[in-house]
């Protein structure tokens, strides 16, 4: 690929799209520059009314809400179940009923498969009063997630994947939009090429015609390079073995920590398969140390942890940029001080898991 002199979007990106679509059983895939760009482009392609309200989990990455705003829409934060860290049908219904403007009709909904756990997609859509073609899945944690035996990727209007360094399919940067709707895929592709009617793969062919294109829609530059796509194709072949390792490591954590009742393990889904992008503990008050005290103590022992995520309503910008239910977000507020993500990646050894769990036992009071 490097020898060809072609590193911009080209043949490698097209092959990566086909291979990824086949992996998740979707008819179409469009490679883009990031998972955040994937969400913005999918929402743009749905041609929702300007300023339309999009339901967004209160506990998610800040870039998700930014993507909604960049698409010209307004996020309405939905509270989460403090057990699953994801919205439930009850919290979706509460968000629509308990709002300062009265009961509202959302234009669309974003559903997050938190940490790789399958979200109850049909039930959430029903609670929102939305058909599945008005639902977009945030599948940043989702390569490997299934719902009732079907891979996440074509269960809603569009699924948006991330290939960041910590994703299950790490490229460095990049994302993918998958769907079964050919027209939606074409709109995503155009919007990700600044709205141009023909991308560079079509414009560099016939001599004298390379400059012919028009712009009919708004857009941004969000294409994936062939260099990233070539890495993605190689990584995709490793995904099944990496998923098996993630499952083994997650099971190892759960087994070793089962007798520390003051640390709650991730909930195990019954309606699908967990992709184990994250292993998120809840540090309860009975553990004897706060989440932040535990994270600091582990860091002193050479063990890095993270928090996924700071609820959006606790971030200054979204206090005015996002809508909130008048009843507040009590589930997110209860959950946030407890969240602690342990190391989880295919190169993690069982010996390292042993040591992490031993420290968690020792630090309990």
Average pLDDT on 102-120 reads: 93
Task: Using pLDDT thresholds of 50, 70 and 90, give the confidence band for residue 3.
Answer: low
Average pLDDT on 294-312 reads: 98
pLDDT > 90 fraction of the chain, expressed in percent and rounded? 86
Q: Is the pLDDT of residue 136 over 90?
A: yes
Task: Using pLDDT thresholds of 50, 70 and 90, give the confidence band for residue 275.
Answer: very high
Average pLDDT, the chain: 93
What was the pLDDT predicted at 207? 47
What was the pLDDT predicted at 9? 75
Burial of 264 (0-12, 13-18, 19+ CB in 10 A): middle
Of residues 274 and 202, more confidently modeled: 274
List domains and CATH numbers for the chain: 11-238 (3.40.640.10), 239-363 (3.90.1150.10)
Q: Count CB-CB contacts under 10 A for residue 101.
A: 8
**Euclidean distance between CA atoms 354 and 257, whole angstroms:** 10
Half-sphere exposure of residue 133: CA atoms within 13 angstroms, side-chain side: 8
pLDDT digits (tens, 9 = 90+) for 153-195: 999 999 999 999 999 999 999 999 999 999 999 999 999 999 9
Residue 36 CA to chain centroid, in angstroms? 9
Q: Is the pLDDT of residue 2 over 80?
A: no
292 three-class SS: helix
What was the pLDDT predicted at 200? 52
Distances (CA, A) of 130 to 55, 108, 133, 199: 11, 7, 8, 33
Q: Is the pLDDT of residue 53 over 80?
A: yes
Average pLDDT on 216-225 reads: 92
What was the pLDDT predicted at 239? 97
What was the pLDDT predicted at 178? 98
What was the pLDDT predicted at 268? 85
Least confident window among 21-30, 32-41, 50-59, 319-328:
319-328
**Euclidean distance between CA atoms 271 and 322, whole angstroms:** 31
Q: Is the pLDDT of residue 90 over 80?
A: yes
What was the pLDDT predicted at 365? 87
Largest CA distance in the chain: 75
**Euclidean distance between CA atoms 38 and 169, whole angstroms:** 15
Distances (CA, A) of 124 to 55, 129, 136, 329, 339: 10, 9, 12, 17, 23
**Euclidean distance between CA atoms 196 and 219, whole angstroms:** 8
What was the pLDDT predicted at 217? 85
Task: Using pLDDT thresholds of 50, 70 and 90, give the confidence band for residue 326.
Answer: confident
**Euclidean distance between CA atoms 115 and 141, whole angstroms:** 5
Phi/psi of residue 114, nearest 5 degrees: -65, 125
pLDDT digits (tens, 9 = 90+) for 189-209: 999 999 998 765 554 444 455
């Amino acid at each position: 690929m490097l020898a060809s002199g072609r590193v911009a979007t080209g043949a490698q990106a097209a092959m990566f799209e086909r291979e990824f679509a086949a992996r998740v059983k979707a008819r179409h895939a469009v490679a883009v520059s990031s998972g955040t760009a994937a969400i913005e482009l999918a929402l743009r392609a749905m041609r929702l009314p300007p300023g339309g309200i999009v339901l967004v989990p209160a506990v998610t990455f800040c870039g998700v809400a930014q993507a909604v705003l960049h698409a010209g829409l307004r996020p309405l934060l939905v509270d989460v179940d403090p057990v699953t860290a994801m919205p439930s049908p009850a919290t979706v219904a509460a968000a629509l009923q308990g709002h300062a403007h009265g009961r509202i009709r959302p234009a669309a909904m974003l559903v997050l498969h938190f940490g790789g756990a399958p979200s109850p997609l049909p039930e959430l859509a029903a609670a929102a009063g939305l058909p599945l073609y008005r639902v977009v899945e945030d599948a940043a944690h989702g390569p490997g997630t299934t719902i009732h035996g079907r891979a996440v990727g074509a269960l809603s209007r569009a699924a948006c994947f991330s290939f960041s360094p910590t994703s299950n399919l790490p490229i460095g940067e990049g994302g993918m939009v998958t769907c079964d709707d050919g027209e939606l895929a074409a709109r995503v592709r155009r919007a990700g090429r600044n709205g141009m009617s023909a991308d560079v793969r079509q414009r560099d062919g016939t001599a004298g015609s390379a400059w012919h294109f028009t712009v009919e829609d708004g857009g941004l530059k969000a294409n994936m390079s062939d260099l990233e796509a070539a890495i993605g194709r190689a990584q995709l072949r490793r995904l099944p073995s990496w998923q098996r390792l993630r499952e083994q490591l997650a099971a190892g954590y759960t087994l070793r920590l089962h007798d520390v009742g003051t640390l709650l393990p991730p909930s195990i889904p019954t309606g699908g398969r967990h992709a184990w992008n994250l292993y998120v503990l809840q540090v309860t008050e009975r553990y004897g140390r706060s989440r932040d005290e535990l994270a600091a103590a582990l860091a002193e022992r050479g063990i890095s942890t993270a928090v996924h995520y700071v609820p959006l309503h606790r971030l200054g910008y979204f206090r005015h940029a996002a809508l909130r239910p008048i009843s507040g977000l009590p589930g997110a507020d209860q959950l946030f001080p407890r969240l602690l993500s342990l190391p989880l990646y295919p190169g993690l050894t069982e010996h390292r898991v042993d040591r992490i769990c031993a420290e968690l036992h020792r630090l309990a009071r």
